[in-house]
Structure 1
Amino acid sequence: MNIDLYGFGPVLAAGALMTVKLALSALCLGLVLGLLGALAKTSPYKPLQWLGGTYSTLVRGVPELLWVLLIYYGTVNLMSALGDLFGNPDLALSPFAAGVIALGLCFGAYATEVFRGAILAIPKGHREAGVALGMSRPRIFTRLILPQMWRIALPGLGNLFMILMKDTALVSVISLEEIMRQAQNAVQFTKLPFTFYLVAAFMYLGLTILSMIGMHFLEKRAARGFVRTT
């Protein structure tokens, strides 16, 4: 095997960069959706509870690959109508945008349960103390609940992010040039499937290890000031 992977080394590196961009963008969207879903499910209002429960159940009940396909191909008519409205008939949802929406939607559904568990793990006395001090509800959430919730939820979110990193391979079915798609292109050209799929596997493994290292430092930082008891 040539050291430059038969000329596909730079192409695979570009695919790795696209994978990281896709994963981080979906993470940002998923964290927002997950937090909103958890707040809805822990809300005292029944309609919000129903909305949050429906979101997490519906999204988790459908495979991620189907969400990618449904969002990418299901928006064709909608984007075409918007394009006609604004005078741009070629308007379409890009594979990157569809991938971010689909993976962010799925990550948010699972993160909803992680955030919900973290919120329920915080003693009610902390909220009562905030009320006794005259703090408003938004201030109680941002100053008392959110920091503790983040610390408790971080390990679960780290596991979900590593799953998300590998799920980016699903977006190759809509022609996004990430690691898996570039590996498939290399296989079609060189007829060496084992070589390039093995390289892709090591690239995903490397990204996962880097994610684990990053999560380790984030967990240590979030745990500052807290004493573990046995």
Structure 2
Amino acid sequence: MNWQLLSWGPTGWGDELVAGLGITLALALATLPVGLLLGSLSCLLWFRGGPARWLARAYTTLIRGTPELLTLFLVYNGVAMLLNRLLSREHGDFVSLSPFVAGVISLGLVLGGYAAEVLRGAYQSLEFGPREAGLALGMRRYQVLLLIELRPLLQLALPGLGNLWLNLVKDTALVSVIALNDLMRMGTVAVGATRQPFFFYLTVCFIYWGVCMASEWGLARLQLGCRPGGRQGVQPGGHA
């Protein structure tokens, strides 16, 4: 293997791959709060019942039944088309949607649909005793959620949310098809310029793997921190 292909400067592609990795991480980090917010709102709507529950169910069913790439194309082309139709009466300029913004919106919608199911399952797994005790003491429902149920809810949901984060990091590669210079696209550009597909795709593979391994380590530490008492805390359903 010609490792000089990963050098910095005009003769190598190391700086381009690092820049693409930066965009990949920025896209994932920008999408995470959007997806968690949508997932939390959808979970809250589900437990309100009535039309709100049907709305939440329609959202999660549609998202989980639609390929991520198709969602990306619909957002990238559909939102731009909608903006142009809304602005066509006042302005004649064509409005295009940024690939980064389209990636945040589409991946955020996907993450929110799956996060809603994870949060709903975690909430339904909570014990009723602490909730009933808080309500008996005169606490409002949101106070019970924030002061009593939030920590065990996060403890139960973190494994599932951690898996969603890993999927999100890998799904950012889809945005390369709409010309965002992320890690995957820069690897593809390097392959086209050097005719070294195995070398560069394997390099990109190891970079994604390294990011996922670092994320798993951080998620494991976060799960320990959410346990009562940290490492010495009580395991769910067990003893100290």
TM-score calculated relative to the size of structure 2: 0.90
Cα RMSD of the aligned pairs, angstroms, is 1.6
CA shift digits 1:53-109 (9 cap, x unpaired): 111100000000000111001122222245546758243210001101111111111
- Cα deviation for residue 144 of structure 1 reads 1.4
Structure 2 counterpart of 1:139, one-letter code? Q
Distance 1:224 1:177 in 2: 42
- Cα deviation for residue 7 of structure 1 reads 1.5
Structure 2 counterpart of 1:40, one-letter code? L
Distance 1:188 1:134 in 2: 66
| % identical equivalent positions | 44
Q: Is 2:118 the counterpart of 1:114?
A: yes
Q: Say which of 220, 224, 228 aligns to 1:216.
A: 220
The DSSP-based 3-state class of the residue aligned with 1:3 is helix
Q: Which residue of 2 aligns with 1:60?
A: 64
Q: Which residue of 2 aligns with 1:3?
A: 4
Q: Say which of 222, 227, 230 aligns to 2:234.
A: 227
- Cα deviation for residue 151 of structure 1 reads 1.0
Q: How does 1:178-193 map to 2 (within 5 A)?
A: 178-193=182-197
Q: Which residue of 1 aligns with 2:22?
A: 17
Q: How does 1:95-134 map to 2 (within 5 A)?
A: 95-134=99-138
Q: Say which of 44, 51, 56 aligns to 2:55.
A: 51
**Consecutive unaligned residues in structure 1, runs of 5 or more:** none
The DSSP-based 3-state class of the residue aligned with 2:198 is helix
Structure 2 counterpart of 1:201, one-letter code? C
Q: How many residues align?
A: 229
Q: Is 2:173 the counterpart of 1:169?
A: yes
Q: Which residue of 2 aligns with 1:145?
A: 149
- Cα deviation for residue 164 of structure 1 reads 0.9
**Which protein has greater RCO, CA pairs closer than 8 Å, 6+ apart?**
1
Contact 1:60 1:110 in 2 (8 A): yes
Contact 2:43 2:56 in 1 (8 A): yes
- Cα deviation for residue 42 of structure 1 reads 2.4
Distance 2:165 2:174 in 1: 15
Distance 1:184 1:96 in 2: 18
Q: How does 1:192-207 map to 2 (within 5 A)?
A: 192-207=196-211
**Consecutive unaligned residues in structure 2, runs of 5 or more:** none
Q: Label 1:91 to 1:147 Cα distance change in 2 as closer, same or farther (>3 A).
A: same
Distance 1:192 1:180 in 2: 14
Distance 1:83 1:203 in 2: 42
Contact 1:31 1:111 in 2 (8 A): yes
